[in-house]
Amino acid sequence: MGSPENEKGRRDDEGPRHRVTISQGYWLADTPCTQAQWMAVMRENPSFFKEGEPLGRPVERVSWPMVLEFCQKLTERARSEGLLEGEAIFRLPTEAEWEYACRAGTETAFNDGSDCTKPTGDDPALNRLGWYISNSEHKTHPVREKEPNAWGLHDMHGNVWEWCLDGRRKYNETPETDPLGPTGESAGRALRGGSFWDGARLCRAACRFGFDPGIRIDSVGFRLASGQPPGSGAIQRRSEGRA
């Protein structure tokens, strides 16, 4: 996890790079949660950008507690219909899970193997991959309109920031397994991916922000994950993989 010291646009909290093991498989949606998906569970649409064809746009103006409620309701529905087994639940990805999925095996700023060449300008690689300040016209866009990464995940760069389950932990060089940042009720939560409002430097795979979990703004949404609850039995150990 993290970015090398020479990556253009790098922020101080992205280092040092360190090896991470994700010990359990998990499922991650191929796009941010859309307004249609949110409405199917919550029966209302809190989003600001509703003009045109809103149902394919990412849902936004959702706080972290609102997303938690969405996940709980979806889990209850899926269990009642026999669609979840064992300890599996719907939830948010941890910050480590998010970066691992975004990178899809790459170690570059963007998940197609490209570097960030224009941190504050019109970046040619990001134009292919996501909606950001130089191409978004200051609004969200329907999902899947930009190229996916090697694992078929769209909109990991730009469009809307995505809530993570945990807050930002302080990085160090020690290898870790299933790392978790702060998870207390009032702890800030990590946001990843950048948004339509942001320059290319904030849309890089390693870029990390943190906000109060109660914030609701038109550039923040989320991506649904599913699997066992994270964090149980996590230990630090040396590993061969890099998330």
Q: What is the extent of the structural domain holding 187?
A: 1-243
CA distance 238 to 177: 8
Number of domains the chain is built from: 1
CA distance 163 to 75: 18
CA distance 144 to 57: 10
**CA separation (Å) from 78 to 74, 83, 86, 119?**
6, 5, 12, 42
CA distance 199 to 123: 9
Instruction: Check if the beta carbon of residue 204 is closer than 8 Å to that of residue 47.
Output: no
DSSP 29: -
**CA separation (Å) from 118 to 108, 134, 234?**
14, 11, 38
- Give the position of tokens 């963007």: 110
Q: Which residues contact 56 (CB under 8 A, 6 or more apart)?
A: 34, 35, 36, 142, 143, 144
Digits of tens for pLDDT over the chain (243 positions)? 999 999 999 999 999 999 999 999 999 999 999 999 999 999 999 999 986 666 799 999 999 999 999 999 999 999 999 999 888 999 999 999 999 999 999 999 999 999 999 999 999 999 999 999 999 999 999 999 999 999 999 999 999 999 999 999 999 999 999 999 999 988 999 999 999 999 999 999 999 999 999 999 999 999 999 998 875 433 333 233 333
**3-class state of residue 189 by DSSP:** strand
Cis peptide leading into 16, omega within 30 of 0? Answer: yes
- The amino acid that residue 13 corresponds to is D
Specify the CATH number for the domain of residue 199: 3.90.1580.10
Q: Which pTM value belongs to this model? A: 0.93
